[in-house]
Structure 1
């Protein structure tokens, strides 16, 4: 691949992340140049796969997809082909191939992510929190593991990858809490069915404004479930380069803040989409820098606390 082609792929990937996730784009700016380019190319592939299945454009405007199984099969085929070293015709897969082969991303991780999207295609429901976490692994936890590999963590370093997985799980639980009502409008229900049964809340009533207090209770429970994963992820920062640790600590702070804001808003959280203010993002970025410095200094002098006994795929 020529330098110009590589530059084009990086530019297209950066544009995708800036349009698809302002929070992640801001955090990615804290990486060193090569890590940023690789993280953005990996993100662009993840975003593309999600958009293909959901009928979206850069994460916006979900619409029903009639040929979802065929689209899913194409994603599997294109991903396997890229990882096998065949020349992709799609720039998104060319970018993914570049970063995956350069960083040594295991095929099983890439395919696990698409497996997560297959659960959406099947319209799968989740009875328990553990069932939901298995889904969260596919669409977010494994992304955290792949991102850690992009940042230089060896694919064999399972303890650190487990912490990266935990951050992805926390992110996804937060997303689900924020988007309960919007997802339900699109016939996507991720809240554990057992939790709905406890509140005598039928799936059909998740969008009913009269049940917003119950929806708020569900969101609070999801946010609480995310907390131990955010706490665990913090101890993976010590094994990252300091700039990568800063970027991830900032993203961790911003996403965790989304969950806190959802809980704080209570039933009003779905009057409009909860977003973190620019001032709060700046504060979380500054806070992330402090956490990263501690992780690179004091934390490395001591022993990493043992990870709590909680759900994990790794």
Structure 2
């Protein structure tokens, strides 16, 4: 499949898998937009392979998760090296990796997150949770920054891009607490549960609902901290990329804010943001992008390990 066809498939994938990201991506310049779609296509395919889903829907157990992860690593390595795999999402990654010189370590880091899930890993502490969020989302944020033209050596800007990925993933985890529990997963740190007096094996016990709501709100507050840091980092990007990032931050940030405002409603039904609010953020982000925000200190925030 040639590049143009890969872009068409990638566009269809993002429009089906994430309306929020699809809408924000249209603010990029054409070349950046296509590369963002290509990267998303691969990320979405890896996520679906790991979770037995179709564009993020219908989670089911994979029969041999270790074999699936190994195949994912092999096809990603081949694609990164410039080989054709015959698997469109991986070939799409190969195209964008070659065009933007994406370090293979970042791709490996993302797959490491799926490997954690495959072996039933659970976070013991907040540090563990943030490390996991880095693997499945922060590393993607770093790759997206490189797609936008950030140098792979600019660790400060990549840290800010990582922060946006962390914010997105923390919001996802907060939104999916009940769904994950029904699937036998829990991403709330064990020490949070212990301190709150919640049985880690029965977090959906109605008797502990109020305590659980407080922990969900704690996730939302963390997401807000990392969103704010990422917004400051967006000042380093070209205007159209800055506009797109600020729009995505606002759209996805609204999910965390809506979860907190729901007072536990997210434990009963999935939280969405309306089309009108998404459009509102595109307008609002345009104004924000015109005025570069002041730099914000990252003191106190978790920081990924920088490559030597």
Q: Provide the TM-score with structure 2 as the length reference.
A: 0.96
Query: Partners of 1:61 and 1:210 in 2: how far apart?
Result: 29
Query: Partners of 1:267 and 1:207 in 2: how far apart?
Result: 12
- Residue 207 of structure 1: how far off its partner (Å): 2.9
Q: Which residue is 1:114 aligned to?
A: 111
1:66 aligns with 2:66: no
Question: What are the superposed Cα offsets for residues 244-282 of structure 1, whole Å, 9 maximum, x if unpaired?
Answer: 111110110011110111111112222210000112112
Aligned partners of 1:9 and 1:41 also within 8 Å: yes
* Residue of structure 2 aligned with 1:151, choices 144, 148, 151: 148
* Residue of structure 1 aligned with 2:193, choices 193, 196, 204: 196
Question: What are the superposed Cα offsets for residues 200-236 of structure 1, whole Å, 9 maximum, x if unpaired?
Answer: 2113322334433222111101111122211111111
1:311 aligns with 2:302: yes
Query: Partners of 2:184 and 2:30 in 1: how far apart?
Result: 40
* Residue of structure 2 aligned with 1:17, choices 5, 8, 14: 14
RMSD over aligned CA atoms reads 1.3
Q: Which residue is 1:261 aligned to?
A: 258
Query: Partners of 1:155 and 1:39 in 2: how far apart?
Result: 16
1:46 aligns with 2:37: no
**SS across alignment from 1:203:** coil
Q: Which residue is 2:235 aligned to?
A: 238
1:248 aligns with 2:245: yes
Structure 1: runs of 5 or more not aligned = none
Q: Provide the TM-score with structure 1 as the length reference.
A: 0.94
**SS across alignment from 1:236:** helix
Query: Partners of 2:62 and 2:208 in 1: how far apart?
Result: 29
Structure 2: runs of 5 or more not aligned = none
* Residue of structure 1 aligned with 2:90, choices 93, 102, 111: 93
- Residue 11 of structure 1: how far off its partner (Å): 0.3
Q: Map 1:294-305 onto structure 2 (within 5 A).
A: 294-295=291-292, 299=293, 304-305=295-296
1:215 aligns with 2:229: no
Query: Partners of 1:305 and 1:43 in 2: how far apart?
Result: 28
Aligned partners of 1:180 and 1:206 also within 8 Å: no
**SS across alignment from 2:130:** helix
